């Protein structure tokens, strides 16, 4: 039995009829950019996140860059971000003209550590907390520090669609939150797509301008913009999938509980937890083991599509090494050597999970 890290087939099948109908509607009108499906999705996603505005864009990396620009980040500003994030967070900061300032994470949840953030806050103009693996960063502590030092918050919400902290969703803590609808995210398109949500009307207006050639009305371009729009066909897919998202997130949470039960007695495997006040949407189920590379190899050789998110902390990649501090980031660096993402997706069966657990037990008995 081969078990993939992510199987998107079930989601595809559950929305197939609605997507086909929507595609036919768009094709009949040959209205491929903008239009009612994009507007409707933006309204529906804003409502889902409890924010006032949603602006659809081309992908999650653009969403972050445009959110930083719309929040007023300028050339040479310093922007704090967790050292263990996906590289796109750092890319967006540099593309917005700013200097990334990596910050270490807390050992329990691998989320931005407020105490570490506090050390760099006096020299930062913004912070990008990353809601990693499906739960929000400790936003109340981060917000208190940010307010004290006049640091703007732009959330990286690519991995937390549906997650909350004290019942507040993405966009409820920062000036804006950027999200990605890359196919494997909790809400995934049939290609690239992204969005920014915000409660600030001026920020929303600025985002629309930036994403559409800096244009406020046709052939008027008051400032440099970009071409980063949410594709209409992707909006059709996202509208259909958004209706199912809460159910799919509940399936993920059940699957996470199942792993916790199946692996409870395996002392070599450290299980992930949920931070206080958080509702977790389990974008990834990340355990920690010793001799991770050997364990991963054993899993992969036995048909279990486990993975690593992410093997190299941002400050150890070629592109961003120059932004790291000399003493490094010990928590993020140790985690990068131990983390292992187990297969988890809506529709994963108990049989599949039992097989993953059995092979993992075998692997840690051999190598752990």
Ligand X SMILES: *Cc1c(COP(=O)(O)O)cnc(C)c1O
CB atoms within 10 A of CB 288: 18
Q: Mask of contacts with ligand X, 74-103, x by CB under 6 A? A: -----------xx-xx--------------
60 in contact with ligand X (CB under 6 A): yes
Question: Using CB under 6 A, which of the segments 39-47, 137-145, 154-162, 250-258 binds ligand X?
Answer: 154-162
Query: Residue 133 CB, nearest distance to ligand X (Å)?
Result: 9
Candidate list 41, 45, 182, 345; residue touching ligand X; CB under 6 A:
182
Q: Which residues contact 195 (CB under 8 A, 6 or more apart)?
A: 42, 45, 54, 55, 56, 57, 63, 178, 179, 181, 230
HEC per residue, 199-264: CCHHHHHHHHHHHECCCCECCECCCCCCECCCEHHHHHHHHHHHHHHHHHHHHHHHHHHHHHHHCC
Q: Which two tokens stand for residue 145?
A: 């520090």
In this chain, which stretch among 37-45, 151-159, 216-224, 253-261 interacts with ligand X, using CB under 6 A? 151-159
**Distance in angstroms (rounded) separating the CA atoms of residues 258 and 264:** 10
In the complex, minimum distance from the CB of residue 320 to ligand X, in angstroms, rounded to a whole number: 14
Query: Can residue 194 be called a binding residue for ligand X (CB under 6 A)?
Result: yes
Answer whether 66's CB lies under 8 Å from 212's CB: no
Closer to ligand X by CB, 212 or 234: give it.
234
**Does 353 contact ligand X by CB under 6 A?**
no
Binding track, positions 110-149, relative to ligand X; x by CB under 6 A: --------------------x-------------------
| Count of residues of this chain found to bind ligand X when the rule CB under 6 A is applied | 15
Is residue 156 at the binding interface for ligand X, with CB under 6 A as the rule? Answer: yes
* Tokens 């840690």 -> residue: 364
Place of tokens 């929040």: 71
Q: How far apart are CA 219 and CA 230, in angstroms?
A: 20
* Shortest reach from residue 159's CB to ligand X, in Å: 5
196 DSSP β-pair partners: 55, 178
Nearer to ligand X, 157 or 263 (CB): 157
- The pair of structure tokens assigned to 162 is 């549906």
Kindly tell me which of 83 and 364 has the beta carbon lying closer to ligand X: 83
Choice between 133 and 259, CB closer to ligand X: 133
The CA-atom distances, in angstroms, between 356 and each of 71, 138, 363, 364 are: 44, 31, 10, 12
- Judged by beta carbon, residue 130 or residue 245, the one nearer ligand X is 130
CA 190 to chain CA centroid, Å, is 17
**In the bound complex, what is the minimum distance in angstroms from residue 58's beta carbon to ligand X?**
8
Per-residue mark of binding to ligand X, 14-53 (x: CB under 6 A): ----------------------------------------
**192 or 268: CB nearest ligand X:** 192
Distances (CA, A) of 44 to 169, 197, 202: 14, 11, 20
CA distance 312 to 315: 8
CB of 177 to ligand X, least distance (A): 11
158 contributes a contact to ligand X by CB under 6 A: yes
Q: Could you tell me if 186 and 161 are in contact, meaning their C-beta atoms sit under 8 angstroms apart?
A: yes
232 binds ligand X (CB under 6 A): no
Which of 180/198 has CB closer to ligand X?
180
Residue nearest to ligand X (CB): 60
| Nearer to ligand X (CB atom), residue 38 or residue 363 | 38
Work out whether 170 is an interface residue with ligand X (CB under 6 A): no
Torsion from C-alpha of 321, 325, 328, 332, nearest 10 degrees: -70
The angle subtended at Cα 214 by Cα 213 and Cα 217, nearest 5°, is 95
161 binds ligand X, rule: CB under 6 A:
no
The footprint of ligand X (CB under 6 A) covers 59-61, 85-86, 88-89, 130, 156, 158-159, 180, 182, 192, 194
């Amino acid at each position: 039995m081969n078990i993939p890290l992510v199987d998107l087939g079930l989601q595809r099948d559950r929305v197939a009829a609605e997507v086909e109908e929507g595609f036919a509607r768009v094709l009949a009108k040959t209205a491929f950019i903008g239009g009612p499906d994009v507007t409707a999705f933006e309204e529906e996603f804003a409502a889902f996140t409890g924010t006032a505005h949603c602006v659809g864009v081309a992908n999650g990396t653009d969403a972050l860059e445009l959110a930083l620009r719309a929040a007023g980040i300028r050339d040479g500003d310093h922007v704090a971000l967790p050292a263990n994030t996906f590289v796109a967070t750092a890319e967006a900061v540099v593309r917005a003209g700013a200097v990334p300032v990596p910050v270490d994470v807390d050992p329990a949840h691998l989320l931005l550590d407020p105490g570490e953030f506090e050390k760099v806050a006096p020299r930062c103009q913004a912070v990008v907390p990353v809601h990693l693996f499906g739960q929000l960063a400790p936003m109340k502590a981060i917000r208190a520090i940010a307010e004290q030092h006049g640091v703007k918050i732009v959330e990286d919400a690519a991995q937390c669609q549906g997650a909350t902290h004290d019942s507040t969703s993405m966009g409820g803590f920062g000036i804006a939150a950027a999200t990605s609808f890359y196919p494997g995210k909790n809400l995934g398109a049939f290609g690239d797509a992204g969005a920014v949500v915000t409660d600030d009307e001026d920020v929303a207006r600025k985002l629309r301008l930036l994403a559409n050639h800096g244009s406020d009305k046709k052939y008027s371009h008051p400032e440099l913009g970009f071409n980063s729009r949410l594709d209409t066909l992707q909006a059709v897919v996202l509208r259909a999938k958004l209706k199912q998202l809460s159910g799919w997130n509940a399936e993920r949470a059940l699957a996470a509980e199942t792993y916790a039960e199946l692996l409870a007695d395996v002392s070599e495997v450290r299980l992930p937890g949920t931070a206080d006040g958080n509702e977790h949407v389990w974008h990834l189920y990340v355990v920690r083991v010793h001799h991770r590379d050997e364990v991963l190899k054993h899993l992969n050789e036995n048909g279990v599509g486990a993975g690593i998110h992410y093997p190299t902390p941002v400050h150890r990649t070629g592109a961003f090494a120059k932004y790291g501090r000399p003493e490094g980031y010990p928590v993020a660096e140790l985690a990068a050597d131990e983390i292992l993402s187990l297969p988890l997706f809506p529709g994963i069966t108990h049989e599949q999970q039992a097989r993953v657990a059995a092979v993992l037990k075998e692997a840690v008995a051999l190598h752990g």
